[in-house]
Structures are given as C-alpha cells and as structure tokens.
C-alpha cells in the first residue's frame, strides 16, 4: 500500500476514493435504521396529503388531458417522486450534514482514522443519494397504489432517484461548505429549492410559462430534468419541449444530470476539504 501524492498539487486532482467511503455511509445508515419509523412516516404522509389536496381536490377543477399524460393527478404523480428526491438529499446534506460536521464533530473524529476527508464527504453524498432513493421509493409506492403508474419502465425509478439524489446532495454539500451557521440554509431553501418545487415542471407543464422562463428553467434548474425523466419512466413518455423531440429531451436530461452531478460531486468534496482542513 503505497499512496503518494504531492499535497501542493492535490487541489487540481480528482479525489481519490476507496471502499472506506462505505464505512461512512454505513454509519449514517445505521443511525437512520435506529429511528426508522420517525423517518418513514413523513415520507409516507406527505405524498398522501399532496395527492389529496392537488390530485383529488384541485384536480377535480382541472379537466382534460394534461400534455397528453392524462388526468391532472396522473400528471403530478412523477412530480411528487422527483420532489421527494430533491428534499430527501438536499436537506440530508445541508442541515443533517452540518449538524454532524459542526455540532457533533463527527467528521473530525472519522478523519483521525485511516478514512480520508474526501471519503467522509463522498460517504455523506452517497448517503444523501440513498436517503433520496428511500424517500422517493415510498412516494413511488403511494403513487402506484393510486394507480398512477402506466409504464413498466417505472422499475428503473430507483436508478434515477439515486443519481438525482446525488445531484441534490452535492449541491447541498456545497452550501454546507459555505455555511457560517445553520440558519444560513434558509437562503438556499427559499431561493433555490422552493422555486424549483413550484416551477420545475412539477405541478403544471413548463410549456405554459413564457419562452424565456422555460429556457432558463431548462438550463439551470436541476429538478426540471429529474421531473422530465421521472415522467418518462412512470408514464412512458417525455414531453417534447422548446421544439425538441422526446428523444432529444431524454438524451439532454440524462447528459445534463450526469455532467452537473459529476461537477458538483467533485466540487463539494473540494470545498468541504478546504473548510475542514485549515
């Protein structure tokens, strides 16, 4: 085992990760399992409430076929799964990671062992993605129980939720690296997450918005792409958008998520390393 690196040039490299990442993941998983009922309940109740309020209630006022997907309740089903991905991982890697880093000093304790700081953060990010997948799978089962799934491709939903979760986990961790205190997270929560929740193509088709807004939403809002692909998996079709065909939209959203996730995954690790090791 000879690992050599020049510390002065390590900032310009990709982080070196080993299987030890999973020891960090397992720590979080075991804590999660200890309080599993508390963790499951909100994830189960939230989609039920949304489906009741927006699907059954508001949906009764909305007639017709929404963008060719069917009824309104059918349209929002995949949106709710995507929202669970976003909330699950973003809040895990902001508030929860911050508590572990700042108040519990859990990261400092782990870094004194053969696990490196890069591996600690990577473990946190993979856990954030897992948390998103757990939450989203619960929502998926609710959506399925309501009879809102119409494509066998829905079996691939966990793959999408994991990578979508990794995306939001990485974004969240970048904010954690910058957070001077825990209240700081109100900024990204209200200026970044809430607008996406409402305007990311979740509750109404993006095509109803002005053209410029559509382009911006497509270019910079991660949730838009997760919602897009989620509709494809759950309902079997991606809506053509901005004059682009369903197939092109499929490829664009996959590439967008892959590139941005990789970028922010690496960036999050670097920013956290800079914060933790002075």
Partner 1 sequence: MTSSEILIKARGLTKKYDQFMAVDHIDFEVYKGECVGFLGPNGAGKTTTVRMIYCFLPSTEGELTVAGMNVSTQARQIKSMVGVSPQEDNLDPDFTVIKNLQVYARYFDIPKEEATKRALELLKFFQLEEKQDVSIYQLSGGMKRRLIMARALINEPRILLLDEPTTGLDPQGRHIVWDEIRSLRKQGVTIILTTHYMDEAAALCDRVLIIDNGKIIETGVPQKLIKKHVGEDVLEVSYDEAVLKTLKEELPDAHIEVFGDQIRVFINQPHGVFERIVKKFPDIDLTIRNANLEDVFLKLTGRKLRE
Q: Which residues form the interface with partner 1 (CB under 8 A)?
A: 1-5, 7, 20, 23, 26-27, 30-31, 34, 104-106, 108-116, 277-278
In angstroms, give the least distance from the CB of 18 to partner 1.
Answer: 9
Instruction: Give the residue with the Cβ less far from partner 1, 110 or 235.
Output: 110
Instruction: Give the residue with the Cβ less far from partner 1, 76 or 110.
Output: 110
Instruction: Give the residue with the Cβ less far from partner 1, 49 or 277.
Output: 277
In angstroms, give the least distance from the CB of 121 to partner 1.
Answer: 15
Instruction: Give the residue with the Cβ less far from partner 1, 16 or 53.
Output: 16
In angstroms, give the least distance from the CB of 270 to partner 1.
Answer: 15
In angstroms, give the least distance from the CB of 44 to partner 1.
Answer: 23
Q: Report the distance separating Cα 99 and Cα 47, nearest Å.
A: 27
Please check whether residue 135 is in contact with residue 88, taking contact to mean a CB–CB distance below 8 angstroms.
yes
Instruction: Give the residue with the Cβ less far from partner 1, 104 or 194.
Output: 104
Main-chain phi, psi angles of 118, to 5 degrees: -60, -40
In angstroms, give the least distance from the CB of 30 to partner 1.
Answer: 7
């Amino acid at each position: 085992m000879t690992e050599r690196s020049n510390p002065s040039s390590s900032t310009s490299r990709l982080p070196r990760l080993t299987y030890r990442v999973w020891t960090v993941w397992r720590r979080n998983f075991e804590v999660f399992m200890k309080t599993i009922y508390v963790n499951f309940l909100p994830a189960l109740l939230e989609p039920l409430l949304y489906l009741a309020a927006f699907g059954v209630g508001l949906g009764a006022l909305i007639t017709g076929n929404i963008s060719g997907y069917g009824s309104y309740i059918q349209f929002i089903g995949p949106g709710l799964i995507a929202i669970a991905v976003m909330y699950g991982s973003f809040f895990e890697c902001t508030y929860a990671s911050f508590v572990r880093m700042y108040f519990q000093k859990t990261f400092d304790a782990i870094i004194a062992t053969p696990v490196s700081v890069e591996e600690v953060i990577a473990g946190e990010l993979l856990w954030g993605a897992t948390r998103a997948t757990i939450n989203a799978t619960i929502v998926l089962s609710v959506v399925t129980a309501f009879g809102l799934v119409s494509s066998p491709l829905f079996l691939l939903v966990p793959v999408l939720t994991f990578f979508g979760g990794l995306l939001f986990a990485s974004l969240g961790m970048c904010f954690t690296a910058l957070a001077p205190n825990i209240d700081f997270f109100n900024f990204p929560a209200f200026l970044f997450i809430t607008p996406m929740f409402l305007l990311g193509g979740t509750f109404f088709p993006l095509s109803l918005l002005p053209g410029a807004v559509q382009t911006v939403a497509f270019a910079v809002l991660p949730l838009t792409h997760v919602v897009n692909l989620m509709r494809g998996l759950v309902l079997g079709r991606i809506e053509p958008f901005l004059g682009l065909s369903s197939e092109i939209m499929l490829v664009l959203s996959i590439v967008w998520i892959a590139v941005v996730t990789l970028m922010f995954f690496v960036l999050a690790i670097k920013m956290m390393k800079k914060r933790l090791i002075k």
